[in-house]
Structure 1
Amino acid sequence: MRIAVLADIHGNVLALDAVLDDLERRGGADLVVNLGDCVSGPLWPRETFARLEALRLPTVRGNHDRRVAQDPADDAMWPSDRYAQERLTAAQREALFALPLTLEIAPGIVAFHARPDHDEKYLADAIVDGQLVLAPIAAIKRRLKSLDPACRIALCGHSHRSELIRIPGGPVVFNPGSVGCPAYDDDTPPAHVSEQGSPHARYGIVELGAPGRPDRFEAIAVDYDHEAAAKQAEQAGRPEWAHALRTGFMKD
């Protein structure tokens, strides 16, 4: 079985289309799973929702999917979430909120956005000097304790960092990186940034091995018209997003 793994599209329909085209050139997949944070961002939330709705992918809820569905009167809403919320219908927002926290997409293979029991806390990362770094293995194991012991592959997103971690006595954790948002800053204490280091759209492929054979994991970076995405962010008044889309880094 061949599984394509998408995460953190963030309204970047250009990056999503580039990933889907690349996947088709590689022979496609038996299953494509979406790990959430579908539309939040100053780009194309309505168009991205429509594209995903037509694809009908197994999808889990990300923290920004939940936030986009919040009451519009919430003045604390983050700008990217508000931008998306204002461009979606009430029914579309409700559909995002109704997405499940976790999905078992195949026997022993579980998909979730951040952690299996929380859509916003990091699984494999710690914050050191304002940057995301790999967390200690003991911490990652504790964060996975709600998983069924039969889980052998855990698919997650949220950090926008491509990671492959084999947990001793536990599952393999695979984060494909972000389809549509190569860098971000988060001022929630402790404030930090995540940076992929290039503007490429990221996704992953998992090939399940036959009995007695190992599974294979591939993290893929796809070039696309990131300049058009950056200009869209600029038109929306978000120069920091434009810089991230062009470079994969946040400005100092």
Structure 2
Amino acid sequence: MRIAILADIHGNVLALEAVLDDLRQRGGADLVVNLGDCVSGPLWPRETMERLQGLDLPTVRGNHDRRVARDPLEDAMWPSDRYAHDRLTPAQREALFALPVTLEVAPGVVAFHARPDHDEKYLNETIADGRLVRAPLAAITRRLKALDPACRIAFCGHSHRSGLIHIPDGPVIFNPGSIGCPAYDDSTPPAHVSEQGSPHARYGIVEFGEPGRPDRFEAIAIDYDHEAAARQAEQAERPEWAHALRTGFMPG
């Protein structure tokens, strides 16, 4: 079985289309899974949502999917969430909110956005000197306590950082990286940045081995017209997003 994993599209329909085209050129997949944070960002939220609804992929709800779907009168929305909220239909927002937090996509294979029991806390990372770095193994293991012991592979996104971790006597955790947002800053204390270091769109492919053969994990980074995405962010008056889309780093 061959599974493609998409994550953190953030309204970047250009990057999404490039990934889907690259996947077709590689022979496709038996299943394509979406790890959430579909539309939040100053790009093309409605176009991205329409494309994803047409694909009808197994999808889990990310923290920004939840935030975009909330009534903006209930709380102050972050600018990227507000931008997407205002451009989606009520039915589209409801569809985002209705997505499951976790999903078993194959026997022993579980997908979630951030952690199995929380959509906004990091699993593989911790914050040091204002940046995301790899968390200690013991901390990652504790964060998996809500995961079914039968799980042997877990797919997660959220941090936008591609990574593969094998927990001793536990599951393999695979984060494919972000398709549409190569860097971001988060002002939630402690404030920090996540930077992929290049503008490439990232996704993953897992091929499950036959009995006696290991599984194969592939993290893929592809080029696309990130300059067009950066210009779109500039038109939305988000220069920091434009810089991130062009470089994979945050300004400064």
- State the TM-score bracket (shorter-chain normalisation): over 0.9
Q: Distance in 2 between matches of 1:141 and 1:169?
A: 10
The alignment partner of 1:132 has SS state of strand
Task: Determine if the alignment matches structure 1 residue 115 to structure 2 residue 120.
Answer: no
Q: Distance in 2 between matches of 1:117 and 1:80?
A: 24
User: Deviations along 1:143-177, whole A, 9 cap, x unmatched?
Assistant: 00111111000000000000100000100000000
Structure 1 residue 72: deviation in Å?
Answer: 2.2
Q: Distance in 2 between matches of 1:144 and 1:210?
A: 27
**Which residue in the other structure is 1:81 paired with?**
81
Q: Percent identity?
A: 84
Q: What letter is aligned with 2:178?
A: S
Q: Distance in 2 between matches of 1:140 and 1:99?
A: 25
Task: Determine if the alignment matches structure 1 residue 154 to structure 2 residue 154.
Answer: yes
Task: Determine if the alignment matches structure 1 residue 195 to structure 2 residue 180.
Answer: no
Structure 1 residue 212: deviation in Å?
Answer: 1.1
Q: Distance in 1 between matches of 2:117 and 2:148?
A: 12
**Which residue in the other structure is 1:63 paired with?**
63
**Which residue in the other structure is 2:14 paired with?**
14
Q: What letter is aligned with 1:184?
A: Y
**Which residue in the other structure is 2:180 paired with?**
180
Q: Distance in 2 between matches of 1:107 and 1:228?
A: 40
Task: Determine if the alignment matches structure 1 residue 38 to structure 2 residue 30.
Answer: no
Structure 2 gaps of 5+ residues are none
**Which residue in the other structure is 1:54 paired with?**
54
Instruction: Identify which range, 65-74 or 16-25, moves more after superposition.
Output: 65-74
Structure 1 gaps of 5+ residues are none
Structure 1 residue 74: deviation in Å?
Answer: 3.9
Q: Distance in 2 between matches of 1:73 and 1:227?
A: 34
TM-score, structure 2 length as denominator? 0.99
Structure 1 residue 75: deviation in Å?
Answer: 5.1
User: Deviations along 1:180-238, whole A, 9 cap, x unmatched?
Assistant: 00000000000000000000000000000111110000000010000000000000000
Query: Which runs of at least 4 in structure 1 moved beyond 2 Å after TM superposition?
Result: none
Structure 1 residue 73: deviation in Å?
Answer: 1.6
Alignment of 1:92-241 (within 5 A): 92-241=92-241
TM-score, structure 1 length as denominator? 0.99
The alignment partner of 1:86 has SS state of helix
